[in-house]
Structure 1
Amino acid sequence: MADLSHEHGALTKAFSGLGVDEKALISIVGNWQHDQKHSFRKASPHHFLADERQFEKWNEQQVELIKHEVLRFKSAVVLWTMHPWERDARLFKEALTKGPDGYSLIIEVACTRSSEELLGARKAYHSLFDSSVEEDVASHVHGHERKLLVALVSAYRYEGSRVHDESAKSEAEALHHAIKKNLPVEDEEVVRILSTRSKLHLKAIFSHYKELFGKDLDEEFHGFWSLKVALQCLVIPEVYFSEVLDVALRKGANEFTQEALTRVIVSQADVYMKEIQAVYYKRFGANLSQKIEETCLGNFKDFLLTLVARGD
């Protein structure tokens, strides 16, 4: 007879990260005997509860946890194999169901995609949901961020190499002036600059701001998270994504935060992954692949590591 207490510990370990250690699960559960006297259920009180009618029943919370963790791999594969337009359209839709917690995801998609990619996501959204992402953002987003978010999802930026340096310097000064006001997120000039200027032009503004005022512009927006997220996604996306991954890989992160791990790696595997890995190591003193190895399990872990390796 196998050591059931040992197997209970091994079973718990198989679900003790993000995803499931499928090989361990098969090895343990596949060899269990349905013997009432020496029941594996009796030896696994964390997973099974004694019923008053003298049988052991699954702990419903554990059932839901296992179902969810098994689905992580499937969800990652489905997200990866989607057309990028459909993927982003569905991310927009998901974000709109989260209320204010989803606003940063709307900004992320709107600001880290190219003009053609964002236009494609808007087309896919229209096809999938019979409405425009612009109108849905306008009707679901409330408060100071509405004007900014509608402008960002509506954007179609110039992507050429031309940058008007004097305009960039002038707009750096305009942003500095707006920051001194109470609500720069509602300032029309701030919204115009962030939603219409090319990413190269915004990089020039970022550089001029540092030269003129001695501070990084995104840090100046620290009290206005939507502006900070938008600027980072537009100018330094590798910094933004490294921070999102760090939070997603922390113990105790909520489910929506954990989902960012899959989303970022899937969406950025062929885009900024090399830069993200370098910034992640510099900022957090750890190799991203090693952190995934330590935090995730089974096929889910292997799939994420395969995608990260595409950036090597």
Structure 2
Amino acid sequence: MSTLCVPSQVPSVAEDCEQLHKAFSGWGTNEDLIISILGHRNATQRKLIRQVYAETYGEDLLKALDKELTNDFERVVLLWTLDPPERDAYLANEATKKWTSSNQVLVEIACTRSPKELLLAREAYHARFKKSLEEDVAYHTSGDFRKLLVPLVSSYRYSGDEVNLTLAKTEAKLLHEKISEKAYSCDDVIRILTTRSKAQINATLNQYKNEFGNDINKDLKADPKDEFLDILRATVKCLVCPEKYFEKVLRLAINRRGTDEGALTRVVATRAEVDLKIIKDEYHKRNSVPLDRAIAKDTTGDYEKMLLALIGHEEA
């Protein structure tokens, strides 16, 4: 459910490149022109623009943007212009470098992408950083976090809808047992969350709720200060209801004293062509304010204009 407004008549790629090149030349940068082009092109179109731009002007469009733009506006434009697998690789690499136990970006990438998308992100990671994502995650994390994150980022789940209900019952019971014993990082819990298909996990967690009366994430809240539990809850949420997970990330990003631009930029840039429409509905329902209004109130200038273009705000 993309929120992106792509014009019905898109100019030729050569024309887009010429306009972008024009936006960088002369006095000052024409930010509005950049937004009017890049903010209204889909992933395939943006990839072509980068290709043709490099062929025509002998420079990577990303380098040109990097030279011309600054701050939050620069970051959202750069993230958006990257091919989705490259973008995921870039975000994952950044997350391993600044790893803290409250950092959920790796879980987000591992659990909200399709198996194929995660595989492509890992390939892009190899190409760009000359290392594997698993290797970097293993190196920068330790203990229970490593035990969960390495299999999560290396997973290639089955992506079909087939579900084994007998298995769901058995594994729901197993999860309940382990969580009751506070054995949160035991092999079985990790195995189920890191290898089962999303449909299977969904069935298991429904079974869990029916059988034991509680949502699993309620039982994983036993100790609100436990950061490993926090990341386990994020894993479950990203696997079964990503729109609720992303709504919360946006809510926290916008409602803090001072905006968390990093999180806001990341969610808008990574979900605009995926499920941002559903996330917007979820946000409106939860906060009684439309997302575009919340963003407009909290951000300014070109950064605000670009975000609004990506979330499909009509006037952007």
Task: Work out the CA distance in 1 between the residues paired with 2:99 and 2:77.
Answer: 26
Per-residue CA deviation, residues 146-176 of structure 1 (Å, 9 max, x unaligned), is 1100010000010112111111121111111
In structure 1, how many angstroms separate the alpha carbons of the residues matched to 2:164 and 2:137?
32
From 289, 292, 299, the equivalent of 1:289 is 292
Q: In the alignment, residue 303 of structure 1 is paired with which amino acid?
A: M
Q: 1:145 aligns to what SS in structure 2? A: helix
C-alpha separation between the residues in 2 aligned to 1:253 and 1:188? Answer: 40
How much does 1:70 deviate?
4.3
Q: Structure 1, residues 205-251: CA drift from partner, whole Å, max 9, x if none?
A: 12111111111112222241111000000001011000000111124
List gaps (5 residues or longer) in structure 1: 1-21, 24-68
Contact 2:101 2:145 in 1 (8 A): no
Which residue pairs with 2:80 in the alignment?
A: 80
Match of 1:266 among 266, 269, 283: 269
Q: Deviations over 1:179-206 (max 9, x none)?
A: 112331x211111111111111111112
How much identity, in percent, do the aligned residues show?
Answer: 42
Deviations 1:121-152 (A, max 9, x none): 11111111111110111111023211100010
Q: Does the residue aligned with 1:182 lie in a helix, a strand or coil?
A: coil
Once residues 183 and 100 of structure 1 are traced to their aligned partners in structure 2, the CA distance between those partners, rounded to angstroms, is 22
Using the size of structure 2 for normalisation, the TM-score is: 0.73
Counting matched residue pairs gives 242
**Match for residue 252 of structure 2 among 247, 252, 259:** 247
Residues in 2 aligned to 1:75 and 1:232: alpha-carbon distance in whole angstroms: 27
Aligned equivalent of 2:89: 89
Distance 1:309 1:202 in 2: 32
Taking the aligned partners of 1:154 and 1:195, their CA distance within structure 2 comes to 9
CA–CA distance in structure 1, aligned partners of residues 169 and 288 of structure 2: 35
Q: Tell whether the 8 Å contact from 2:292 to 2:313 is kept in structure 1 after alignment.
A: no
| 8 Å Cα contact 2:253/2:261 also seen in 1 | yes
Alpha-carbon shift at residue 285 of structure 1 (Å): 2.2
Q: How does 1:111-126 map to 2 (within 5 A)?
A: 111-126=111-126
With normalisation by structure 1, the TM-score equals 0.73
Residue 13 (structure 2) aligns with: none
Correspondence for 1:190: 189
Structure 1 vs Structure 2 CA RMSD: 2.0
Following TM superposition, the consecutive aligned residue runs of length 4 or more in structure 1 with deviations greater than 3 angstroms are: none
Contact 2:72 2:261 in 1 (8 A): no
Larger radius of gyration: 1
Tell me by how many angstroms 1:310 deviates. Answer: 7.8
